[in-house]
Every structure is written in C-alpha cells, then in structure tokens.
Amino acid sequence: MSFLILFVSVLIVFAIGLLLGLIIASASHFLAVRKEARIEQIGEILPGANCGACGYAGCAAYAEAIILEGAPANKCTSLTAEGLAKIAEITGQETAAAGEPEKAFIACHALPFASEALSFEYNGLADCTSRALFYKGAKKCKYGCLGGGSCMDVCPVRAIYREKSGRVVIDRKKCISCRKCLSVCPMNIIQMIPESADYAVACSHPGKGVQTKQDCGVGCLGCSLCTKKSPDGGFFMDGFLAKIDYNKKGSRNEAVEKCPSHCIVSLK
Amino acid sequence: MNLIVIFFSFVLVNNFILSKFMGLCPFIGVSQNRESAVGMGFAVIFVMSISSLLTWAVYHAILAPLGIEFLKTIVFILVIASLVQLVELVIRKLSPALYKALGIYLPLITTNCAVLGIAIISVDENFGPLESFVAGMSGGIGFLMVLVIMSFLRQKLLLEKVPAPFRGVPIAFITAGAMALAFMAFNSSMISNLFPGV
C-alpha cells in the first residue's frame, strides 16, 4: 500500500510537472513577442556588465533604447571605436565620435595601513565609508586612500584589486570607465585619466610640502620640479599639488626620475 | 464561513505581513518608494487571487481523490511558479502597458511565500472555490495596504535623524514591528463586534 502511494505521488508530480512544462513551452512559442533582432545584436556588442554608466537600467535596457528611442550609442563608456562602428552599422546612424576613453586611477600610492602614517588605530567596520565617517579616516593624511576596498566591491568587472602590500590598485586594462568607484570613494581621490596616459601623479594632498611630508612621506611636495624638468610634459601646479595636462604629449621621463617623493607613477 | 469575515480577516486581523510575517522580502525590498510599492501590491493581488483559485482546483481535483494531500506544498509551488510564468507570457502578449506596470514584479512573486501561504491556508481551512478566491484577493489587498503605508513611513524615515547603524533596513524592520503591534488591535472580537451575528 505504502509502495502504491509512493508510486502514485511520483507519477502525479511528474505528470503535473510535465504538463505545466509543456503548457509553458507551447505558450512561449505561440505567445512569443518578436523582439527586434537588432536589439539582441546590439546587446551582444555592449559589454554586458550592467554598470549603468549610460544612464539606463542595464545593457539590455540601453540596447532597447538605442533601437526604440534612438538613444545615442556613445553613452556607453566602455565601447571601443570598433564596437561603436558596429552599432552604427546596425542602426544606420552616423558614427558618433567615441572620444578618448578614460580609465579610473586612484590618485594615492601610499600604503593605507603603514603605522607611521596613522594618527590612531581604527577598529570599526572595514569599508571606506565607515572609515571616512570617523575623523576622515585613521591616516594622518586626510586626502589619501583608506584601503577599505569599497571601490573593489562596486567595480562591476573586478578591475580593482589589492596588492600584497595592502595598497588598492586599479587594473586599467580591465576598467570599463563606468565611474562607479568615483562615486563610492569617500575621499574623492579616484580620477578619470585618458587611456593613453603614460604617467600619473599618485597623490591628492593639496597641502604644502611640509604638511604632506609629515602626513605620509610619499606624496607630492609641491616643489614644481616636474614642471621645470619636463616643460613639454604638461605638468602644472594646482596650489601645492602637481597635475598633468594630458593634451600635451611631450616626454615626461625626466620629471618622473627627478621627482623627490617618486609620486609620479607609471601606468603602463 | 461568510465572505465578509474572510475579507476582513485576511486584510486586517491575519494580515500576511504584520501578523503572519510572510512576504517580508518584497515588503522590505520594494517599500522604499510608493510607485513600486503599488505596482508590487497589485501584482500580488492579481497572482494571489488566481493562484488560490487554481490551487484549490488542483487540490480538490487531483490530490484529495488520490489521497496524496501531503504533496500539497511541492505541487502548489510547481503550480504557482508555472502559473506566474504563464500569466507573464500572456500579459506580455496581450497588454504591453500592463506588462510594463507589473512586468518586473511578476517574476519576483513566484517565490513570494505569501502566495504559497494563502494556498495552503485556504486548503487547511476547507475553503470553497469562491472563498479561496476571496481569501487570496483580500490577502493581496492587505499586502498592498501595508506596503503602501510602509512606503509613506519610509519616506518620512529618510528625513529623520536615525542613528547611523539603524539607517535603512534595520529601522524599517523596527517600524514594521511597531506597526505589527498596532495591528494587534484588529482581532477576531473586533470583527464580531462589527458584524454581529456572523
């Protein structure tokens, strides 16, 4: 008797499952809504990371908007010129200029947990927002990377990783320019730098050299040596912080070598 | 059983969220703004009404005659999940406007335990088809009501100075707890006072 019940139960559940499966399969066949094939084609070209940099709910929503609403194809920050051309081919629109792609860069290369650079010991929640809420972080420098890794958590392509030393670094080859890390960083030290850039100033401390030196020791001292050593390199001083104008393409090697705090780092 | 009693019982007295603590995931998830709360609420009303009717039919036509009532949970899950899929397909074909309004919320309800809860409660209480339907609908209405109230409260909460660790979901749960306490005032004696003789 119990065997019969077992048999009946298996049979019934199997039959119901099969029946429902068949109904849904046939329904999806007969009730299929023809999506435009072009939407799917564009969806395949888009990166599929759903980062939201274009302002739409995700790559699928953006592909739909390109076809149905005529949205411009250059809103996706991670599309290459090649991808843009492919989309233009599908939509028949003029190729919108892609512009030089920009990649994220953390403008601080100090070790986040070096004990000599800390003003107190922090034992709270690990993410950067919590760290920053408490006296703008435990570091003496109030313009540096706190090392909590909040940017690592939001990066849709996991381009941000932690080196063995504890420093958080962005892999610019993987970066798709979605700018999510820029908005999550409580210290606002992540910048967008053109993809072709060879060097970048890895410091955001605006204070005078003495202050910067006291705070961390590897930051920009504001000595303006770089502007003198590589006059064509596009170096300029913003207060006591060196910055690079990437429109100038001159050599920057001399300045990099002579920088007393070695805070002009290679991006290649 | 009177339909009015069933209605008030599931909307107020045995409210799914506040007294049975079912469907808490969509309750916390979509009560942040009123528009999505209303969308979710109507989708739940819709799915609960038809699924309680269908599960009644499945139970009384298949499970009860064969004496395998113990399978009701697994069979109901199967039936409800496929029903939601099917309804989604039909709506997408027939009414793109309705699909846009309910679309995102329909697949989310597939696994909403309130939908399974109403089906099992209806069966346990020996409801007839009409009673099951009304129970499902009123359960959904109660769900919608609490969701909308909560969305107002959460909009107010955003402006309050909440201590940092309590911001967001924790304070929402505390508020929901306080609301559940307030809903304890709706009990069976209130219904028998309102509808004497039922």
- pLDDT tens, chain A, 268 aa long: 678 888 888 888 899 899 999 998 998 888 777 767 788 888 888 888 888 888 888 888 888 888 888 788 778 877 877 888 888 888 776 655 656 788 899 999 988 888 888 888 888 888 899 899 988 888 999 999 998 889 998 998 899 999 988 899 999 888 888 888 999 999 999 999 988 888 999 999 998 888 888 888 888 998 888 988 888 888 999 888 999 998 888 888 888 888 988 899 988 7
Q: What is the DSSP letter of A65?
A: H
Q: Establish if A68 touches chain B: CB-CB under 8 angstroms.
A: no
User: DSSP secondary structure string, A72-121?
Assistant: -GGG-TT--HHHHHHHHHHH-PPPPP----EEEEES--S-TT-GGGBSS-
φ, ψ for residue A159, nearest 5 deg: -85, -10
- CA B125 vs CA A38, B101, B128: distances in Å: 52, 33, 9
Angle at CA A60, nearest 5°, toward A153 and A89? 120
Are residues A21 and B82, on separate chains, in Cβ contact within 8 Å? yes
The domain total for chain B is 1
Residue B4 domain-assigned? no
Instruction: Calculate mean pLDDT across residues B186-197.
Output: 77
Token pair in block for residue A61: 């929503």
Is residue B146 scored above 90 in pLDDT? yes
Q: Is residue B3 a part of any domain in this protein?
A: no
Find, among A195, A160, A155, A196, the residue nearest to A179 by Cα. A155
pLDDT of residue B140: 92
Residues B68, A8: C-beta atoms closer than 8 Å? yes
Mean pLDDT of B114-130: 89
Handedness of CA B61, B62, B65, B71 (dihedral sign): negative
Q: Does A20 touch chain B (CB under 8 A)?
A: yes
B177 part of a folded domain: yes
Other CB atoms within 10 Å distance of the CB of residue B87: 19
Residue at B192 is within a domain: no
The DSSP code sequence of A13-53 is HHHHHHHHHHHHHHHHHHS-----HHHHHHHHHS------T
Range from A78-82, A175-179, B23-27, B153-157 carrying the lowest mean pLDDT = A78-82
Rounded to whole angstroms, how far apart are CA atoms A33 and B88? 12
Q: What is the average pLDDT across B81-109? A: 78
Instruction: State which residues form the domain around B132.
Output: 12-185
The pair of three-digit structure tokens given for residue B195, joined into one six-digit string: 């509808």
Q: Is residue B71 situated within a structural domain? A: yes
Closest CA to A145 of A209, A222, A202: A202
Query: Could you give the CA distance from residue A26 to residue A54 in angstroms, rounded to a whole number?
Result: 36
A2: phi then psi, degrees, rounded to nearest 5: -65, -35
Q: Please give the distance of CA A169 from its chain centroid, rounded to a whole number.
A: 11
Beta-carbon separation of A8 and B164 below 8 A: no
What average pLDDT does this structure show over B35-47? Answer: 84
Cα(B107)–Cα(B91) distance, integer angstroms: 12
pLDDT at A97: 60
In a domain, B107, yes or no: yes
Mean pLDDT of chain B: 85
| Chain-chain contact of A9 with B62 (C-beta, under 8 angstroms) | no
A8 CB neighbours in chain B (<8 A) are 66, 68
Whether the predicted interface score ipTM is above 0.85: no
Beta partners for residue A104, in sequence order:
A192
- The average pLDDT across B133-147 equals 93
- Tokens at A59, concatenated: 């790559």
Cβ of A12 within 8 Å of Cβ of B62? The answer is: yes
Q: What is the 3-state secondary structure (H, E, C) of chain B?
A: CCHHHHHHHHHHHCCCCCCCCCCHHHHHHCCCCHHHHHHHHHHHHHHHHHHHHHHHHHHHHHHHHHCCHHHHHHHHHHHHHHHHHHHHHHHHHHCHHHHHHHCCHHHHHCCCHHHHHHHHHHHHCCCCHHHHHHHHHHHHHHHHHHHHHHHHHHHHHHHCCCCHHHCCHHHHHHHHHHHHHHHCCCCHHHHHHHCCCC
- Cβ atoms of A201 and A225 within 8 Å: the answer is no
Q: Does the beta-carbon distance from A12 to B71 stay under 8 Å?
A: yes
Residue of B36, B70, B11, B12 whose CA lies nearest to B154: B36
CB atoms under 10 Å from CB of A134, counted, come to 12
In a domain, B157, yes or no: yes
Cα distance between residue B152 and residue B36, in whole Å: 12
**Residue B129 located in a structural domain:** yes
Q: Is A13 within 8 Å of B71 when comparing Cβ atoms? A: yes
Q: Which chain B residues touch A28 with a CB distance below 8 Å?
A: 89
Q: Residue A217, SS3?
A: coil
Instruction: Give the closest-approach CA distance of B122 to chain A in angstroms.
Output: 21
> Would you state the structure tokens that stand for residue B112, as one six-digit string?
């909403």
Amino acid, single-letter form, for residue B36:
S
Which of A1, A4, A31, A133 best tests the B interface by mutation, with the highest count of B CBs <10 A?
A31
Decide: B48 and B56 in contact? Cβ < 8 Å.
Answer: no
Which residue in B has a C-alpha nearest to residue A15's C-alpha?
A: B75
State the smallest CA–CA distance between residue A16 and chain B in angstroms.
8
- Give the minimum alpha-carbon distance from A53 to chain B in angstroms, rounded to a whole number: 21
Say what the pLDDT of residue B132 is: 92
**Ordered domains of chain A (ranges, CATH):** 39-91 (1.10.15.40), 102-266 (3.30.70.20)
Q: Tell me if chain B has a CB within 8 Å of the CB of A210.
A: no
Amino acid A46 reads L
Q: Which residue of B has its CA nearest to A22?
A: B82
- Residue range B115-126: mean pLDDT, rounded: 89
Q: Render pLDDT for B83-96 as a digit per residue (tens, 0 to 9).
A: 888 888 887 787 77
